[in-house]
Amino acid sequence: MKQMLTFTETVLRASFLAALFLFSSCSDDDEEEDLAGTHYGMPVTVGQGTGRAWVTTNDAGVPTSVGITLSEGAVTNLGNGMRMYTLPLPAQADQTLYDHVMLDWNPEGHPPFGNYDVPHFDAHFYMLSEDEVSDIEGDVAMDEQPASQFIPPNYILTPGIVPAMGAHWIDVTDQNNAPGQFARNFLYGSLDGTFIFHEPMFTLAYLNSLKTMNSETISIPQPTAYQKSGLYPMKYSFSYNSSTKEYTISLLELTARQ
């Protein structure tokens, strides 16, 4: 004979099922909410502070921006020699084009002199692994260039290949690339006919100026076609947060391109 539940047992069972449903719903909601946010890679000691790479994702977990954040101490007491810092990206960046960020400090600048011979940083957002980048040989003529449709308008190739880095492309219409005008700019990098990095380059003086102007956002020139499918930044920006005393360099509006 089928056992009948008492009224008390029926109420308790209904309460338990309701609580279980509510817990399950909350858990699902929490899991969805966790997809949106800014996710950080491991911090790295830079100067007298730290640097971190990060990626911001939307509610669907799709990256919308990527960048690096430097504490105020990271841009002080950096020393007189060139320094290179590898900033690892978090796992959420696997959906982006980028493998890691290499931040270079150039206290005396670098060639071409007269253009970039002031204290500044190079932030290379590499599409290659660290090992692949370190294997790049330099001091050779560029023997292959990307097809014209993959080259952003007004960008030209600078001479040679920098070892453990690649070849650099600059926008000849950007006044920051004119002698004595450099504050910040955006470079493309290539190797053997393939673009391998995106590079915001910015002076120490420009970073310090952010304390008064707070932020600046600039559009990135885009090619008519792309060599590989992925999320490409449409803009880049620089900002200073007076509350946290941090500088942030961002690649914004990541947009799917094929």
Mean pLDDT of 215-224: 98
Is the pLDDT at 187 greater than 90, yes or no? yes
pLDDT of residue 167: 94
In the numeric block, the tokens 């609580």 are attached to 19
Is 4 a member of any domain? no
Q: Which amino acid is at 108?
A: E
* 213 part of a folded domain: yes
Q: How confident is residue 22, by pLDDT bands cut at 50, 70 and 90? A: very low
Residue range of the domain that includes 188: 37-257
Residue 26 has pLDDT above 90, yes or no: no
Question: Are 235 and 217 a contacting pair, CB within 8 Å?
Answer: yes
- Within a domain: 179: yes
Within-domain flag for 13: no
| Mean per-residue pLDDT, 73-94 | 94
Whether the per-residue pLDDT at 17 is higher than 70: the answer is no
* pLDDT above 70 as % of the chain: 86
pTM of model > 0.85? yes
- Could you tell me where the DSSP H helices lie in 109-183? 130-134
> Which pLDDT belongs to residue 11?
42
25 part of a folded domain:
no
pLDDT band at 139 (very low <50, low <70, confident <90, very high): confident
Query: 3-class DSSP state for residue 187?
Result: strand
In this structure, is the dihedral angle defined by the CA atoms of residues 202, 205, 207 and 210, taken in order, positive or negative? negative
Q: Look at the chain and report how many structural domains it folds into.
A: 1
The whole-number average pLDDT for the span 152-173 is 95
So what's the pLDDT on residue 113?
85
Beta carbons of 125 and 197 less than 8 angstroms apart: yes
pLDDT value, residue 23:
44
For 35-74, what is each residue's pLDDT tens digit? 899 999 999 999 999 999 999 999 999 999 999 999 999 9
The model's confidence at residue 193, banded by pLDDT at 50, 70 and 90, is very high
